[in-house]
Amino acid sequence: MDQVRKNMAMTPALTHPVFTHPGRHRIAVLARPVLLPIELGIVHQLFGQARAGASADGEPLYEVATCGLRAGDVRTDGDFAVTVRHGPEALAEADTVIVLSSYEDYVQDTPELPAPLAEAFALIRPGTRMASICTGAFVLASAGLLDGHTATTHWRYTDLFARLFPRVELDPDVLYTDGGSVLTSAGCASGIDLCLHMIRRDHGTAVANDVARRTVVPPHREGGQVQYIRRPVPAPSAPATSAAREWALRRLKEPITLGQLAAREAMSVRNFNRRFRDEVGTTPMNWLNQQRIELARELLEESDLPVDQVAEQAGLGSAANLRQHFHAALGTSPSAYRATFRGPAK
């Protein structure tokens, strides 16, 4: 796949630009037959909702264009086709390329990139951010872009992926992975998680949360795809933990114990802990810590509160405790995170 990387540096000039809004981040979505329309809709809907200032009146932050290996109709898994206006030339202009899944991935029997895809990838500029949804990871792996990276794909195809691409560190349990310049997601709905993560990484928590709110999806899902593998759906009469989560979210500043959470659902601590893990994919206290970190991120982005007050408001106690949790979760300090989105302190 070294030739693919070399070819990516040989981008021809385009006569007719695909993207028409200077200043917006340009995303090319590569659609192949047989396409899952939900994946295409996810990308356009989420990135299309991202606005400057997390406001419906703000300027759009992204421009999204769909392309195929050639312009024209692309077959889907439904009883209709999707008409794609652009061919692979769109890849040459993109800042980010997102590869959707295809039924062709499910029966792949070679690690080699098919010639039409290799020709298309040769148009991509060096430094372009690459991402995949579901089995689109097979394409990135075939191009050699995942070698030495951690990646994921749909849990049904992890065995095939691991056999074809032993140089990729496969994590079959997560919803998505972020290797900086290359990102992957699990099943098609995990594309929501990945797109929101990319928006959050590009423009901060407030913008990502605004997109999630307006599209009525959770801004961040805990756990991984392992929770969806061959597990029975809980009976309608089975006790749930949603009321306890809602109660906790209104009181993140306060000390909250596992016993208090269990009491909200009239369960024993043991039963509550087991039921919570079944529903959310992580422990109650890990979930609580994640919510507090998310709140701290918002406060760092949107307020001028000192770090110690951010820690207090988010229920993380001291500035030292906030720094410890922040570094463990995000690999950076609160002050560095704030500077990323608001600039250095004056």
Beta bridge partners of 170: 151
Tell me, what's the pLDDT at 29? 98
Nearest to 108 by CA among 161, 32, 35, 146: 161
Same domain, 43 and 96: yes
Same domain, 178 and 85: yes
The mean pLDDT of 208-229, rounded to a whole number, is 72
How high is the mean pLDDT of the chain? 87
φ/ψ bin of 223: left (φ > 0), alpha (ψ from -120 to 50), beta (otherwise): left
Same domain, 7 and 87: yes
Tell me, what's the pLDDT at 194? 95
**Burial of 181 per CB tally in 10 Å (0-12, 13-18, 19+):** middle
**Which domain does 246 fall in, by range?**
240-346
Is residue 238 over pLDDT 90? no
Predicted TM-score of the model (pTM):
0.71
Tell me, what's the pLDDT at 343? 59
Q: Which of 11-20, 28-37, 178-187, 302-311 shows the lowest per-residue confidence on average (mean pLDDT)? A: 11-20
Is residue 152 over pLDDT 60? yes
Q: Among 215, 250, 278, give the residue marking a domain's end.
A: 215
Tell me, what's the pLDDT at 16? 64
Q: Tell me the pLDDT tens digit for each residue of 38-61.
A: 999 999 999 999 999 888 889 999
Same domain, 174 and 307: no
Q: Greater confidence, 237 or 328?
A: 328
The count of residues in the chain is 346
Q: Tell me the pLDDT tens digit for each residue of 93-138.
A: 999 999 999 998 888 888 999 999 999 999 999 999 999 999 999 9
d(C-alpha 85, C-alpha 96), whole Å: 18
CATH number of 302's domain: 1.10.10.60
Q: How many angstroms from the chain centroid is the CA of residue 117?
A: 24
